[in-house]
Amino acid sequence: MDRDITVSGHGVLDDDSDRGLDFGERSCGVPGFRCGSVELQVDSMTDSQDDVAELPDSLPPVEPPSAGFILQLFVIPGLIVAVIIGIWWLFGKMASGEQDWQSLVIELQHPNPQRRWRGAHGLAQILRADQDRKDGQRLAENGEIAKALADTLSSELKQGSTDDDDLKYQAFLARTLGMFNLPDAVLPVLRTATQANNDREVRKNALAAIATIGSRLDEKGTAIDSPPLIDDLVEASHDQDPLIRQLSSFTLGIFDSPVARDRLAVLLDDSDKDTQINAAIGLARHQDLRCLPTLKRVLEASPPKQATNDQAYEQFVTLKNVLKAVEQLAPELKPDDRQQFTQLVKAFGASTRDPSLRVSAESALRELEPASENP
């Protein structure tokens, strides 16, 4: 059965021929279809034109979004997301860092020497990185890490191995323990490591670690008071090895002890020049004027014309420490000594080519000259 599809005046397809809509149908020439003689509804179009005519003459101007709108739409949400991501990253790093050092502590006990080395080296790196950060985890005060390293060194020392790798491992552990601010946890094993029956490198690193810890805590106002430690250092200062005497004399100078100062006074006449200088610097640290002749000799001596890089560096460190010692002693000097040191430091500052040493000389003079003007 054929169905007639007509098109209304509004352009809507309508397949209902029973609605009685008659547009004056005529044949379209298409079999089965008829086309209406479509008459547009003029009245409807006229009404639409009247509606348009009633619109205002000008629409509100289109303006670009304001800075405040952009800020609210994009910037503020972006900042909120960034803060959330930052907090997530921070807590993730903290958890990861804690997991890292804990896994490295476990590595210290591994039977494989390479794994033990990796654990010790990794812990040392974490400790150094933590010290350099203002917002670090303060691992230098972490008793678990300190105990693990101390126990490992103690175990290694008891084995008494003479293997070169084992000795290097012991020396590394001793040096790493110097990074902690926990004297009760690390000093006992470091004292053991300074004993004469241990390897030279192990003893050297143990003495340096004790000096580092003592100096750092002294600067914080928490000096170490340990007579047994002083006794061990005095014993080490009698060693036949000049290097051990040098280090023990320097370390003794850090501790404010009458026993230590009396031993340093004896070491002023040691056969080793560097031991003498370290003893004088240690005495100056505690305003003990018995060091003056040695300090004067250092400033009066002309530097060697030819020196290796190592010798040049050692001389730089020596002069730096001597100038610091003179600066510390300045308030205690008598007028004659003050005048002599003023002349010596002025001559040194004028002759040295090293900018850092010139700065140290000027700093010492600032302490010497005001005192000389008001004896």
Last residue of a domain, one of 224, 256, 271: 224
The verdict on residue 368 lying in a domain is yes
For 36, phi then psi, to 5°, come to -80, 150
The verdict on residue 73 lying in a domain is no
Same domain, residue pair 120 and 246: no
User: Which domain covers residue 342, as residue numbers?
Assistant: 334-375
Q: How far is CA 258 from the centre of its chain?
A: 37
The verdict on residue 54 lying in a domain is no
Nearest to residue 204, comparing CAs of 250, 257, 268?
A: 250
Same domain, residue pair 253 and 199: no
Same domain, residue pair 110 and 161: yes
Nearest to residue 155, comparing CAs of 204, 193, 183, 99?
A: 193
Task: Give the burial class of 4: count Cβ atoms within 10 A of its Cβ; 0-12 exposed, 13-18 middle, 19 or more buried.
Answer: middle
- The encoded tokens of residue 340 equal 């002599």
Same domain, residue pair 157 and 172: yes
Domain count, the chain: 4
Same domain, residue pair 140 and 245: no
Does residue 14 sit in helix, strand or coil?
Answer: strand
Beta bridge mates, 27: 34
Q: pTM of the prediction?
A: 0.70
Same domain, residue pair 106 and 161: yes
The verdict on residue 56 lying in a domain is no
Q: 320: Cβ–Cβ under 8 A, 6 or more apart, which residues? A: 356, 357, 360
Q: 35 and 28 in contact (C-beta within 8 Å)?
A: yes
Same domain, residue pair 109 and 214: yes
Beta bridge mates, 36: 25
Query: Which CATH number characterizes residue 230's domain?
Result: 1.25.10.10
- The encoded tokens of residue 82 equal 């960034």
Same domain, residue pair 251 and 352: no
The verdict on residue 75 lying in a domain is no
The verdict on residue 1 lying in a domain is yes
Q: Compute the CA torsion angle 328, 333, 336, 341 (nearest 10 deg).
A: -10
The verdict on residue 63 lying in a domain is no
Q: What pLDDT does residue 69 have?
A: 57
Same domain, residue pair 345 and 290: no
- The encoded tokens of residue 362 equal 């000027």
DSSP 261: H
Does residue 268 sit in helix, strand or coil?
Answer: coil
Last residue of a domain, one of 245, 277, 301: 301
For 35, phi then psi, to 5°, come to -100, 135
Q: How far apart are CA 357 and CA 129, in angstroms?
A: 29
Q: Where are the beta strands (DSSP E) in the chain?
A: 6-7, 13-14, 25-27, 34-36
CB atoms within 10 A of CB 151: 14
The verdict on residue 59 lying in a domain is no
Tens of each residue's pLDDT in the chain, 375 residues? 444 434 344 444 444 444 444 434 444 444 444 444 444 444 444 454 555 555 555 556 666 666 665 656 655 666 676 666 655 444 444 433 444 778 888 888 777 888 888 888 888 888 888 877 777 778 888 999 899 999 999 999 999 999 998 999 999 999 999 999 999 999 999 999 999 999 999 999 999 999 999 999 988 888 898 999 999 999 999 999 999 999 999 999 999 999 999 999 999 999 999 999 999 999 999 999 999 999 999 999 866 656 677 778 888 999 999 999 999 999 999 999 999 999 999 999 999 889 999 999 999 999 998 644 544
Q: 248 and 239 in contact (C-beta within 8 Å)?
A: yes
Does residue 368 sit in helix, strand or coil?
Answer: helix
For 25, phi then psi, to 5°, come to -65, 145
Q: 264 and 252 in contact (C-beta within 8 Å)?
A: yes
Same domain, residue pair 145 and 203: yes
Residue length of the chain: 375
Q: How far is CA 199 from the centre of its chain?
A: 32
Question: What is the widest separation between alpha-carbon atoms in the chain?
Answer: 137
Same domain, residue pair 212 and 234: no
Last residue of a domain, one of 301, 326, 359: 301
Same domain, residue pair 236 and 206: no
Beta bridge mates, 26: 35
